[in-house]
Amino acid sequence: MTRPTIRQLQILQCVAEGDTFRKIALDLGICHGTVKNQMLYIRRRIGARSSENAVAIAMRRGWIK
């Protein structure tokens, strides 16, 4: 399992805080589709079944708060 990139960790932190993909896109200055794609890449990279599972894994590993 590979650690996500800094940008992916930013996205994961926003998801953990309850932000929608649309809000994350606006806050980070990227496209909504980019957020969706990055979440897919994150899930694949860390072996998560869902966005919620990805957040739980990242929190357990201390990557996000």
Alpha-carbon dihedral sign for residues 25, 27, 30, 36? negative
Residue 1 covered by a domain = no
pLDDT exceeds cutoff 80 at 1: no
Looking at the predicted structure, is the pLDDT value of residue 2 above 90? no
Mean pLDDT across the chain, nearest whole number?
Answer: 96
Q: What is the CATH number of the domain that holds 40?
A: 1.10.10.10
For residue 37, give both structure tokens: 């794609």
Domain total of the chain? 1
Q: Quote the CA–CA distance of 47 and 21 in Å, as a whole number.
A: 20
Average pLDDT rounded to a whole number, residues 21-37: 97
The Cα–Cα gap between 56 and 65 comes to 10
* pTM (predicted TM-score): 0.90
Helices (H), the chain: 6-16, 21-28, 32-46, 51-60
Q: Is residue 65 part of a domain?
A: no
Gap between the Cα atoms of 41 and 51, Å rounded: 11
Tens digit of pLDDT for each residue in 34-61? Answer: 999 999 999 999 999 999 999 999 999 9
